[in-house]
């Protein structure tokens, strides 16, 4: 059995924090900390409001996936519907909004699959993942700069793509595999 160490055993103490950039989506700050050993170190922190990812499963066992151009990788990325949370927005509210805005679907049944840290070494982003079933038609209302190619893919095929490395997006990998495990029970 895995035993967690005492929570304060590895805790760093903040000495100073200075914002280097404040943007529309992220803020970047430089923290100075004191380590448990007494050393002083710098930590670059990207603040992000967090987001959601939705595994939208229809009655035929297919999941709605998106191809979206992602500038950091200068190419298309294969993803589940997802989006950034608005300030103070509950994850389930964001998930429902994003599914309808991007795919044009709503769902009667929602299962919370948990939270994932996007990149805990430098970023505060938390991604809340959901399984949406009993889908019905809503209205697409994408952002003006949001261009997507939508596909319906059998969940079993997506699990194979996840395991083979074809799917590289972290939230999609976690969402697909957790949804698959949940549905096996």
Q: Which residues are tagged catalytic?
A: 146
Tell which residue, 116, 114, 136, has the closest CA to residue 182: 114
Question: What 8-state DSSP symbol labels residue 125?
Answer: -
Q: Are 100 and 83 in contact (CB under 8 A)?
A: no
- Residues sharing a CB contact under 8 Å with residue 172, sequence separation 6 or more, in sequence order: 53, 65, 78, 79, 80, 82, 162
Alpha carbon distances (Å) from 89 to 23, 57, 109, 128, 129: 19, 24, 20, 12, 15
Instruction: Provide the 8-state DSSP code for 80.
Output: -
CA distance 68 to 172: 13
CA distance 50 to 65: 20
């Amino acid at each position: 059995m895995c035993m967690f160490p005492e929570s304060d055993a590895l805790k760093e103490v903040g000495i100073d924090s200075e914002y280097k950039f404040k943007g529309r989506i992220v803020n970047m700050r430089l923290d100075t900390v004191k380590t448990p050993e007494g050393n002083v170190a710098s930590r670059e922190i990207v603040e992000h409001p967090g987001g959601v990812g939705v595994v939208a499963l229809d009655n035929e066992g297919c999941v709605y996936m998106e191809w979206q151009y992602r500038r950091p990788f200068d190419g298309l990325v294969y993803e589940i519907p997802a989006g950034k949370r608005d300030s103070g927005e509950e994850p389930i509210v964001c998930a429902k909004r994003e599914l309808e805005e991007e795919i044009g679907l709503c769902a009667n049944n929602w299962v919370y699959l948990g939270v994932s840290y996007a990149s805990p070494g430098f970023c505060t982003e938390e991604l809340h993942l959901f399984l949406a079933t009993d889908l019905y038609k809503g209205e697409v209302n994408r952002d003006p700069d949001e261009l997507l190619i939508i596909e319906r893919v059998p969940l079993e095929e997506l699990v194979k793509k996840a395991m083979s490395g074809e799917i590289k997006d972290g939230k999609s990998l976690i969402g697909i595999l957790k949804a698959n495990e949940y549905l096996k029970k």
